[in-house]
Amino acid sequence: MGSWLDETLTWGNTLIFALWGIILLVLVLGFVTYAIYFERKVIGWMQLRIGPNRVGPLGLLQTVADITKLLIKEDTIPRKADRVLFILAPALAYVPAFGVLAVIPYTNELYFADINVGLLYYVALSGITTIAIVLGGWASNNKYALLGGMRSAAQMISYEVPLVISVVGVIMVSGTMNLRSIGEQQGDWFWQWNFLPQIIGFVVFIIAAVSELNRTPFDLPEAESELVAGYHVEYSGFRFAFFMLTEYVYVYAIAALTTVLFLGGWHAPLAFLDFVPGIIWFLLKFAFIVFFLFWLRATMPRIRIDQLMGMGWKVLLPLAILNVFITAVYLELFIKG
Amino acid sequence: MIRTEELLLNVGPQHPSTHGVFRIIVKLDGEVIKEAIPVMGYLHRGTEKLAENLNYTQIIPYTDRMDYVSAMTSNYVLCHAVETLMGLEIPERADFMRLIVMELQRVASHLVWWGTYLLDIGAMSPFLYAFRDREIIIDLFNELCGARLTYNYMRVGGVKWDAPEGWIDKVREFIPYMETKLVEYDNLVSGNEIFLARIKNVGQYDAQTAIDYGLSGANLRCTGVDWDLRKVKPYSLYNRFEFDVPLGKRGDCFDRYLIRLEEIRQSLRILKQAVEQFPSSGDTMGKVPRVIRPPAGEVYVSIESPRGEIGCHIVSKGKAEPYRLKFRRPSFVNLQILPKLLVGETMTNLITILGGIDIVVGEVDC
Amino acid sequence: MKGLLKGLGVTLKSMTAKKITTSYPDEPFVMPDRFRGIQHFIPDQCIVCNQCARVCPTECITLTGKPNPDPEKKGKVIETFDINFEICILCDLCTEVCPTEAIVMTNNFELASYSRDDLYMDINWLDSNNKNVRKDNNNIGAPQAGKGGAKKDV
């Protein structure tokens, strides 16, 4: 894969790149379809229910049916809405969500873009989605949507900061922002992965990541029991589907990012297990994080907005900075010296 | 120039957390509530007026629909009022049946509250856990009186149905089951730090305020006022059983939460004693004239429903229909404190406080 | 953190616990005998005493009688009997007062329909609704007649 990226751009190469992009898109859509199915099943089981089981064998086609329904639904735009922004918002939310997937490496050989500031690219691009959510909330001309949009803006700003700072430790240890190198540098034993030496960073990262995803217990922008549906209350049909898609693509992205940054990427947890292909290990870790997110959703109540902000600025940010300091001191004393 | 505006927001009547068709108009500054005006009456059916043209037996199905989460206590308060007015004695077995169903109903009602409250706070699973266990009670009632929600079970002078065979044993089996489930509930929710942060010190008021607003039930006891009509003015057979009245200290949503969970435990305790002492035989219907015609006069009785003091005031002119019938509905009275509590709170706390008061809109609007 | 972890433990344990979902439309609910469902009406037993129509809290029962066609017998026989299930609350009072058990409850409860007009049930429909009829009607409100009367057993 890497060799292609270094070649000069010809028509043939462009076609191949585009093809790979489409393959990734299809894979991601497939992931989203079955992540939703899996989520509903897992939460159903945890709530003593069976979950979807009517459409297709074991309900496997349930999400397909739901998406079809969303796509053929009437597309309503409120009369008093800001039409241009209202239409723009779902697209603006989705594009960066798919864009960030470019930098995620799956194994040492399987990756799409080998950017030396991959992590920065991820963080920078994912910030755009916030703007889309605020836009959507504002353009809907609905008070609940506006409140949801405002909450989302406040939440994302206060959690983006600890999220970025929490990975600074990883960057310092690895000495690179290239996600592939970060993944590569973690060893073949699970205690050589970043999550143990960087335990503070890891915890802060997970909390901030769940918050970035707007998932329970941080699903305040949606908060169905207070704001009805928050920023997408006026959206219907495929525009709503785009917001949903964005959310699940980010689940994919965050799960992959956590795996690469902290859980050793494609490395086996024990060195003698490395006969199993790296991609399997990657997928296992990835699936575990996705499951963890669903598990959280089945258990947790929602946090309040002021507590959310308080936690972001007063707890997570100092912890993340502390982590940077500890890492710096450690590097200075033991590695450099 | 930068100018800020207050946002007038209609919460309800169609809103997921207003527990029915209840509406609050809030003036928001950002997310902070400046003013809240509750609007009620969307579910008003004129029960009290309708009752003036119905005889007493016919009113009983209407009381089912008042507090539809706890229909048995509403049934009881009407029958109890008529019986008091007529000076009727009801057989012991019927009294036991009434007490058992009322305590089961209290458990069921608090389970609904627990589940929906957690749903308001944002946790989805507790709702289904609570309904799993409530379903058992509902099935028991279904077996007893043929309906799952609107029981129409009690009659002036007794109860319509005696317990079917094995029913008491099923109640007996339910008690230890529910006790184990309560432990599960505590593990799932009561210690959850997010949950505690959400409800501790939210919607606080002191004992004097609570009394001034006429609050009752858990809303009053959370401030430490020891007022449970089952103890203070024992009706039915409550003076035969041992139970405690859980009290709070801080008067916040968390105390109300703890009190309701503890009340489930105490209800189970009463049930345990009641099934032990349950008379093996006896009538379930007292000697009642075929047409119930209470003497002219007035009567007010009040009992402890899961939501607080539910009262029934009958003015009788000696006819088969009441001249005037008035229900003191605890949900309605407890709701009066809401505008005061909401000022200065955030939008999120609105839901927490409203849920903590535990209203049933059928009862608020009557 | 401890509370959060405990909660996670409970949900994880529930994942393998017995599920409580029932496959209702596929498998019909079996209601207990006392269940109050749609009424079954037996015209032959009706003595047109009007008790059910009078006791109905929502006045959903309308009935008319005609003189008994058999001149040797006294009394009336039922001619029309309608229940409006838009407003019937299935409170059981009509079956409770019926002295001859001409109107009884069944365990059927599926009344959903696409039109409100379908909920207006006449004598023939109610007569043919004869499945799952309740065995024990316990008509405590009925006057001492037939096998009714204030029953003390059960």
What residue spans of A47-142 are helical by DSSP H? 62-71, 83-99, 118-139
Contact C20 A49 (CB under 8 A): yes
Among A42, A49, A296, the residue with its CB nearest the CB of C19 is A49
DSSP one-letter string for C38-74: SEEE-GGG-----HHHHH-TT--EEEEEEE-SSTTS-
Whether the CB-CB separation of B31 and B49 falls below 8 Å is answered with no
**Shortest Cα–Cα distance, B156 to chain A (Å):** 41
Whether the CB-CB separation of B274 and B100 falls below 8 Å is answered with yes
Residue B190 neighbours by CB under 8 Å, 6+ apart: B257, B258, B261, C3
Q: Which residue type is seen at C126?
A: L
* CB–CB contacts below 8 A, A to B: 83
Question: Choosing among B64, B74, B162, B196, which should be mutated to test the C contact, i.e. which has the most C CBs within 10 A?
Answer: B162
**pLDDT band at residue A2 under the 50/70/90 scheme:** low
**Shortest Cα–Cα distance, A162 to chain B (Å):** 20
- Which residues of C are less than 8 Å from A299 in CB distance? 4, 7-8, 10-11
Contact B160 C93 (CB under 8 A): no
For residue A337, pLDDT over 60 is answered with no
**pLDDT band at residue B313 under the 50/70/90 scheme:** very high
Question: Choosing among C10, C11, C20, which should be mutated to test the A contact, i.e. which has the most A CBs within 10 A?
Answer: C11
**Shortest Cα–Cα distance, A37 to chain B (Å):** 17
Whether the CB-CB separation of B193 and C4 falls below 8 Å is answered with yes
- Domain range summary for chain B, segments of one domain joined by +: 7-364
Question: B61-114, pLDDT tens digit by residue?
Answer: 888 888 888 888 988 999 999 988 888 888 888 888 888 999 999 999 999 999
Phi, psi of A176 (to 5 degrees): -155, 160
Q: How many CB atoms lie within 10 A of CB A25?
A: 13
Q: Average pLDDT, whole number, for chain A?
A: 82
C34/C12 Cα distance (integer angstroms): 39
**Shortest Cα–Cα distance, A44 to chain C (Å):** 8
Question: A130-168, pLDDT tens digit by residue?
Answer: 888 888 888 888 888 888 888 888 888 888 888 888 888
Contact C11 A46 (CB under 8 A): yes
Q: What does the pLDDT read at residue C50?
A: 86
**pLDDT band at residue C148 under the 50/70/90 scheme:** very low
Contact B124 A219 (CB under 8 A): no
For residue A184, pLDDT over 60 is answered with yes
B216/B220 Cα distance (integer angstroms): 5
- C46 belongs to an annotated ligand binding site: yes
**Shortest Cα–Cα distance, A233 to chain B (Å):** 12
Q: Which two tokens stand for residue B18?
A: 């207003």
CA-closest candidate to residue C85, choices C107, C117, C55, C44: C117
Among B135, B152, B187, the residue with its CB nearest the CB of C92 is B152
Which three-class secondary structure state does DSSP give residue C27?
coil
Question: A51-65, pLDDT tens digit by residue?
Answer: 888 887 888 888 888
- Which residues of B are less than 8 Å from C36 in CB distance? 146-147
Question: Between the CA of residue B236 and those of B217, B241, B363, what are the distances in Å?
Answer: 18, 11, 23
Task: Report the first-to-last Cα separation within chain B, whole angstroms.
Answer: 50
Whether the CB-CB separation of C37 and C108 falls below 8 Å is answered with yes
Q: Half-sphere exposure of residue B93, counting CA atoms within 13 Å on the CB side? A: 15
Which residue do the tokens 């928050």 mark?
A: A230
DSSP annotation of A272 reads G
Q: Is C30 exposed, middle or buried (0-12, 13-18, 19+ CB in 10 A)?
A: exposed
Question: B247-300, pLDDT tens digit by residue?
Answer: 888 888 888 898 998 999 999 999 989 888 888 888 888 888 878 888 888 999
Q: What does the pLDDT read at residue A126?
A: 83
Which residue do the tokens 């209290």 mark?
A: B106
Say if residue B13 is preceded by a cis peptide, omega within 30 of 0: yes
Which residue do the tokens 């627990």 mark?
A: B114
CATH architecture of the domain C31-135 equals: 2-Layer Sandwich (3.30)
**pLDDT band at residue C146 under the 50/70/90 scheme:** very low
A226/A149 Cα distance (integer angstroms): 13
Q: Average pLDDT, whole number, for chain B?
A: 87
Given CB atoms, is B124 within the 8 Å cutoff of chain A? yes
Please tell me the least confidently modeled range out of A222-231, B230-239, B311-320: A222-231
Question: Nearest residue of B to residue C92 by CA position?
Answer: B152
Instruction: Number of helices (H) and strands (E) in chain A: give both, helices first.
Output: 12, 0
Given CB atoms, is C7 within the 8 Å cutoff of chain A? yes
Q: Which residue has the higher pLDDT, A189 or A72?
A: A72
A68/B208 Cα distance (integer angstroms): 58
Q: Which residue type is seen at B236?
A: S
Contact B187 C10 (CB under 8 A): yes
Among A42, A45, A299, the residue with its CB nearest the CB of C7 is A299
Question: B166-215, pLDDT tens digit by residue?
Answer: 888 888 889 999 989 898 888 888 888 888 888 888 888 888 888 899 88
Give all chains having 3 or more CB-to-CB distances under 8 Å with chain B: A, C
Question: Nearest residue of C to residue A217 by CA position?
Answer: C4
Composition of chain C by helix, strand, coil, percent to 5? 25, 15, 60
Give all chains having 3 or more CB-to-CB distances under 8 Å with chain C: A, B
C141/C56 Cα distance (integer angstroms): 13
Phi, psi of B290 (to 5 degrees): -65, -40
**pLDDT band at residue C154 under the 50/70/90 scheme:** very low
What residue spans of chain B are helical by DSSP H? 47-51, 56-64, 71-86, 92-121, 125-145, 167-185, 193-199, 207-212, 218-221, 229-232, 253-277, 330-335, 338-342, 347-357, 361-365
Q: What does the pLDDT read at residue A308?
A: 84
- C60 belongs to an annotated ligand binding site: no
CA-closest candidate to residue A323, choices A216, A207, A185, A183: A207
Beta bridge partners of B154: B159
Q: Which two tokens stand for residue A282?
A: 């990657």
Q: Is A262 exposed, middle or buried (0-12, 13-18, 19+ CB in 10 A)?
A: buried
Percent of chain A scored above 70 by pLDDT? 97
Given CB atoms, is C109 within the 8 Å cutoff of chain B? no
Question: A287-323, pLDDT tens digit by residue?
Answer: 888 888 888 888 888 888 888 888 888 888 888 888 8
Which three-class secondary structure state does DSSP give residue B127?
helix
Q: What does the pLDDT read at residue A75?
A: 82
A90/B73 Cα distance (integer angstroms): 51
Contact B125 A298 (CB under 8 A): yes
- Which residues of B are less than 8 Å from A307 in CB distance? 197-198
Contact C7 B191 (CB under 8 A): yes
Q: Which two tokens stand for residue B135?
A: 């379903």
Q: Which CATH superfamily is domain B7-364 in?
A: Cytochrome-c3 Hydrogenase, chain B (1.10.645.10)
Given CB atoms, is A160 within the 8 Å cutoff of chain B? no
Whether the CB-CB separation of C34 and B146 falls below 8 Å is answered with yes
For residue C149, pLDDT over 70 is answered with no
For residue C143, pLDDT over 70 is answered with no
For residue A236, pLDDT over 60 is answered with yes
A262/A167 Cα distance (integer angstroms): 9
- Domain range summary for chain C, segments of one domain joined by +: 31-135
Q: How many CB atoms lie within 10 A of CB A11?
A: 7
The angle subtended at Cα A184 by Cα A182 and Cα A190, nearest 5°, is 95
Q: Which two tokens stand for residue C5?
A: 């972890």
